[in-house]
Amino acid sequence: MGEFTINTEGVPFNLRYTLESGQSFRWQERGEWWVGVLGHGVVKLKQEGAALVCVSSSDALDSHALYDYLGLGSDLERILASIMKDGKITEAVQKFYGLRILKQDVWECLLSFAIATNSNIPRIRGMVSNLCNRLGDAVDFEGNAYSLFPTADRVAQAELPDLAACGLGYRAKFVKSIAESVSLGRVNLDELRLHDYAKARELLIEDLPERKTLMGIGPKVADCVLLFSCDKDSAFPIDVWVARVLDGNYPHLFEGDLKERLASAVSGKTSLSLATYDRLSASARAYFGEFAGYAQQYLFHYERMKD
């Protein structure tokens, strides 16, 4: 509870780039502050030179929790040096230097990116906000009301029409199904980070004979969850924006038919099959290395912000 400061002297960090890069959908800019709901509390942040000024609503949301959430423990300088393999990525890194990969709550990340499919960031923010306001517990901060991200149990208990009323469209049934799976313990989200990338990914997109474990979770969403909430820094999610960057700047990374399949997907003639997605992602990971996820995030943000 209260105000404190995190010293980021000598540590590359840009709060705006980090919060605006489409990793998390709940931060809002209010004047000179960024306000967000984390866990069971609310926090507002302001970057002033080497000082990150924080005002928190709860004791649990302290400097250690924020330091961890913001990924400040990662050696970003070394990470960025390792991914700058060419002019394009170097340009993106220089332009958005200090953008960090957040370490988000797995459940919130999973459901948010399930909701994010075939949509756009402004609208995703709206859908997630509606879901929280409708189903999440209320919490007060500086006289204003905020909503916590709803638990899996709460979402699982919600009626389909209530979910649809959040503007989720056809995603409503996936949201309910995912919440039920998590609520029933068909998948243990907390243990994902303990597995390696391949194993954790397998658990997320597992398709058992009787039923798929998480309906609506495919390779792209799984990669986002692994990168943004399970410490898998090599995960390389490929959405339409990243596919565009790869096709426009990195066609040489892909052999023969793969290059053509990518171009075809970018032009909208076909879509990426599961196998093609995996081959593309594997090639990108091989090229950028163990921190390929950072490269992906810089390229994604660069592509979205250009012009």
Partner DNA sequence: TCCCAGGCTCAAC
Partner DNA sequence: GTTGAGCATGGG
| Among 7, 144, 188, 273, interactor with DNA by CB under 7 A | 273
Kindly identify the residues of this chain, within the stretch 150-209, that bind DNA according to CB under 7 A: 164, 167, 169-170, 173-174
Regarding 277 and contact with DNA (CB under 7 A), the answer is: yes
Terminal Cα distance for the chain, rounded: 41
- The nearer residue to DNA, 41 or 71, going by C-beta atoms, is 71
- Site residue total, DNA (CB under 7 A): 49
Measured from the CB atom, the residue of 56 and 297 that comes closer to DNA is: 297
Can residue 126 be called a binding residue for DNA (CB under 7 A)? Answer: yes
Cβ 275 to DNA shortest distance, Å: 3
Written as one letter, the residue type at 174 is F
- 263 near DNA (CB under 7 A): no
d(CA 178, CA 160) in angstroms, rounded, equals 13
Residues in 221-260 at the binding interface with DNA, rule: CB under 7 A = 221-222, 224, 237-242
Contact by Cβ (8 Å): 6, 12 = no
Give me the least distance between CB of 212 and DNA, in Å please.
Answer: 5
- Sole binder of DNA in the list 218, 249, 253, 258 (CB under 7 A): 218
Q: Which of 276, 285, 287, 302 binds DNA (CB under 7 A)?
A: 276
Our CA angle for 94, 96, 98, nearest 5°, is 95
Binders of DNA among residues 3 to 62 (CB under 7 A) are 21-23
CB of 290 to DNA, least distance (A): 18
Per CB under 7 A, 217 contacts DNA: yes
What residue ranges bind DNA (CB under 7 A)?
Answer: 21-23, 113, 116-124, 126, 164, 167, 169-170, 173-174, 212, 214-222, 224, 237-242, 268, 270-271, 273-277, 296-297, 300, 304
